[in-house]
Chain A
Amino acid sequence: MIYAFRTLVGQEKNVARLLARNVKNSELEVNSILVPDTLRGYILVETSSKIDMQDPALKVPNLRGSVEGEISFEEIKGFLNPEPIIASVKKGSIVELISGPFKGEKAKVVRIDESKEEVVLELIEAAIPIPVTVKGDQIRLIQKEAD
């Protein structure tokens, strides 16, 4: 059985570590705790038995309760093998920069370096096109294909 627990955003790893330490000394049958990067504010807890939120082992700071219902194993498979963002980006794609000095700017992909996970972009609104190299996690895909 897999349950989703709500946590304070940014504290997912700390909550998972504390929870893991608490359940080792308790009767709760927690088998693993998954913290996917793409799921902010939530952790996924795999158990062998039904979980009681009143259990003292689940009294962890920054843990904000559980989401009702179970999650199927098929649903979490996508989190286990995270695909790099770069895999979905093509030459000519339109992306938005989500961090760094050009945050919020839209840009066109000129070149992709898959081994370094870097992309070379050209800012759309710039008067003179200057190539900018950024890491793959600093961009968000807006439009897959160029017009």
Chain B
Amino acid sequence: MVTKACTKCKRLMESERCAICNTSSSKNWSGFLIIIDPEKSGIAKELNIGIPGEYALRVR
């Protein structure tokens, strides 16, 4: 399966549509980020991420 990224929240997934924001996903992404604890993570706060998981840094 190809990993895709949501064009809105940048979350990585394998489905066509994002399960959280219901927008389409894109195969064209770069950068990789794993958020384990969004409450304590400064990176998650900077990027406004509230749900743990895998994210892309840039989605086209």
Show the binding face of A for B, using Cβ within 8 Å. Answer: 12-13, 16-17, 20, 23-24, 29-37, 46, 48, 73, 76-77, 79-82, 84, 117
Contact = CB atoms under 8 A, between A and B. Distances in A.
B30 interface: yes
Contacts of A117: 60
Closest 3 CB pairs of A and B: A31-B41, A35-B32, A32-B41
A31 B57 contact: no
Interface residues of B, number: 20
A76 B31 contact: no
Contacts of B9: none
A62 B39 CA distance: 29
**Majority secondary structure, A binding face:** mixed
Interface in B19-51: 30-38, 40-44, 46-47
Given A32-B41, A80-B47, A16 B58 contact: no
